[in-house]
Amino acid sequence: MKILVTGGAGFIGANYIHYVLSNHSDCEVVNLDLLTYAGNLSSLKQWEGDSRYQFVHGDILDAKLVDTLMGQVDAVVHFAAESHVDRSITDPLSFVRTNVLGTGVLLDAARKHKRRFHHVSTDEVFGSLAPSDPAFDESTAYDPRSPYSASKAGSDHLVRAYYHTYGLPITISNCSNNYGPYHFPEKLIPLAITRLMEGKTVPVYGAGDQVRDWLYVVDHARAIHLILTTGTIGETYCVGGENEHQNIDVVRKLIALLGHDESAIHYVADRPGHDTRYAINPTKIQTQLGFKPSVTFDQGLAQTVQWYKDNEDWWRGIISGDYTKYYDQQYGKHE
């Protein structure tokens, strides 16, 4: 199988490419990525020159390029997206362009060439849960709260529309929060790790009592490929780690792993419209496809911290640029 992976130089996309090429010798990958701020080709350096891997620098909004590539592959796994909620609050239209219009361009090309299409989405489209609410599942109504989640909800609906209207062979997955290697250091876990390693404080929104369900990214990559190859056409699968933790407790775990104390925590004003809790009920993918996470949260956190220790060149090259300016503006220079 030859797979077009969009956004393959990003966090989850890169881990998916590593998983596929390392575990499925019958697969080839074409990686289409615009290399915006969160795209990093060094994450895939080991595959340079491999005959099963091809990188194409381009935009999913480029209909001509997308059409050409779609004619060369068997399937699409669509990761490419603007994904950071904070950035969506300051620049919402860029999220609409990439996440909705870009998905539309891909779908139209897939329809023309009759290609299998898997769309990677998020649990944030479902909104926010109260502490006693049941976890999200495939029947949960959409209730997005940020420009980011609204744009992803729009793309999910568009994918389903192409299935119902044109018979395009699609599947969708909605995942919980991912963590692991190659994660751009703007999200909670890699932000905390890199700032602690630099001797800086870790910004925590509000009281840090927001709850997230954490999924190790390599487990997520395995789940995506399982859905692509064995999932039922037209179906959605919720992929979660069954690891609910408050953000402040995640930060405390990282502080302990890196040998710091709680003076490293810097509480900042809460994000506008910040969702209280996300949680995934993964019963469907477990019972129908046999998927279960293989990495516990404590194991995954320890492995992730070790990866950032072993790969300082990867993340220090990132934080020396616009990233640092952005976060100093967001949180102030809390050294």
pLDDT in tens, 12-47: 999 999 999 999 999 999 999 999 888 999 999 999
CA separation for the pair 45, 321 (Å, rounded): 21
Residue 263 has pLDDT above 80, yes or no: yes
| Domain count of the fold of the chain | 1
Residue 203's closest CA among 212, 192, 194, 193?
Answer: 192
Q: pLDDT higher for 272 or 311?
A: 311
Residue 118 lies in a domain: yes
- CA 291 to chain CA centroid, Å, is 18
> Which residues lie below 8 Å from residue 68, measured CB to CB, with a gap of 6+?
none
Question: What are the pLDDT digits (tens) for 105-114?
Answer: 999 999 999 9
Residue 143 lies in a domain: yes
Residue 170 lies in a domain: yes
Residue 172 lies in a domain: yes
- Residues carrying an active site annotation: 123-124, 148
> Which residues lie below 8 Å from residue 328, measured CB to CB, with a gap of 6+?
none
Residue 91 lies in a domain: yes
Residue 125's closest CA among 9, 275, 253?
Answer: 275
Residue 22 lies in a domain: yes
Residue 319 has pLDDT above 90, yes or no: no
Q: Count of alpha carbons within 13 Å of 265, Cβ hemisphere only? A: 18
pLDDT at 98: 94
What H or E segment, with its residue span, contains residue 11? helix 11-23
Q: Count of alpha carbons within 13 Å of 328, Cβ hemisphere only? A: 9
pLDDT at 327: 53
pLDDT at 302: 98
Tell me the CATH number at 78.
3.40.50.720
- CA 144 to chain CA centroid, Å, is 17
* Domain hosting residue 132, numbered range: 2-179+216-239
Residue 294 lies in a domain: no
Residue 265 lies in a domain: no
